[in-house]
Each structure stands twice: as structure tokens, then as C-alpha cells.
Structure 1
């Protein structure tokens, strides 16, 4: 499996773990897991099984995760550390989903 898929799968797994820790102790914890942790896990499985659209949807949802994390980092100083990790992971997901296209476009020719 190419490196970008492994990196993407690892980042998705870390994001799911981050959200599980982020919402730990919340009274709506199960709902938070369904909304925030389940999508990265499903996408990680899709990436690992080479589903064609899994990386695309990971990149699209990473924009949502990024926006959510920026909003929380700005508005809630108590949860800002979780939010900053989420920002870094979501940027990493966007880069990992884009890397094969960048390599193809700007890679060595000839």
C-alpha cells in the first residue's frame, strides 16, 4: 500500500481517537462518537480497503473538521488544545488526500 494511504489511514484513526477523548465525559457522549468519531473510522476502513472515493470524502470532511476545530479553538479556551490538535490533523488529512495528485502533477518527468 502506498505511503499516502497509510498516512491518511493513520491520521483518520488519530482523529477518531481525538474526538473520543475530546468528548469524554459529555452527557451526549454516544451521540458525539456517532457524529465525530464514526465517520473517520468508516473512511479509514475505506482507505485501507482501497475504496475509490474514501480518500475524496476524507478530504471533503476534513474541511468540516478543520472549520469545527477553528471555531472551538477561537471560542472555548478550555477545549482549545483539543481543537489545535484537530486543526493539525485535518490539515494533514487534506495534504495526505492531495499528495498523490501533487506527486503526479509536479513529480519528476522522464
Structure 2
């Protein structure tokens, strides 16, 4: 059983849900339905479900996934001019996932000492 995550669950879950929705809009119409679900839409939805249940491991892996999604968004923004808007949204959502997943550690690290 994993530890309970002390951070705010809703902002992280909302960012993951928005990222899954963005991927659904972007990739589900392409003809590779199973691959789009397994690679792009499924992981953020699974992590969102686990984060809402309070899993600290899911919050950690959301942050790691956020780094991958950020890199993917930057790559698409540079290489696909027609996809720059969606890539920019992906970058912003990935940064939101990273920030929300890191918030408990950052707030502890920079808390005022008494």
C-alpha cells in the first residue's frame, strides 16, 4: 500500500484530466485508436484516478510524466508548425502537472522555520 499524498489533489487531477482531453482531441481521430489510447490518453487518466485516491506514487509519476509531456510539447512546437497551438497548450498543462505534483515538497523546503 502506498503512502497518502499530502498535497492538494484537485489541481493535479484537473491538469491531468485536461492533458488527457487535449490528447484525445489531438490523437483519437488519426486512425491508430488503440495506440492513441494506450500511449497518450490512458496514462494521464490512470494517474488522475490514482491521484484522486491519494496515491503518493501516482503524484510522483505524474511529475515524471509531466517532464516527458513537456519535452513532447516542445518537440512538436519546434517541428510541426501546424501544431504549435496545441503543443503550446500541452507545454502549459505539463508545467501545471509538474508544479502541482511538486507543490508539497517545495512548500516544505521553503517553509519558514520557527
Distance in 1 between residues matched to 2:86 and 2:33, nearest whole Å: 16
List runs of 5+ in structure 1 lacking aligned partners. none
Question: After the TM superposition, which parts of structure 1 deviate over 4 Å for at least 4 consecutive aligned residues?
Answer: none
State the 1:2 CA deviation: 7.0
Matched, 1:95 2:87: no
RMSD of Structure 2 on Structure 1 (CA): 1.6
Which residue is 1:83 aligned to? Answer: 87
Which residue is 1:47 aligned to? Answer: 51
Distance in 1 between residues matched to 2:23 and 2:8, nearest whole Å: 22
List runs of 5+ in structure 2 lacking aligned partners. none
Distance in 1 between residues matched to 2:99 and 2:85, nearest whole Å: 21
Which residue is 1:36 aligned to? Answer: 40
Provide, for residues 10-67 of structure 1, a one-character-per-residue CA deviation record: whole Å limited to 9, x for no partner. Answer: 0000000000001142011331122101000000011000112000000001111111
Q: How many residues align?
A: 110
What TM-score do the two structures reach when normalised by structure 1? 0.92
What TM-score do the two structures reach when normalised by structure 2? 0.89
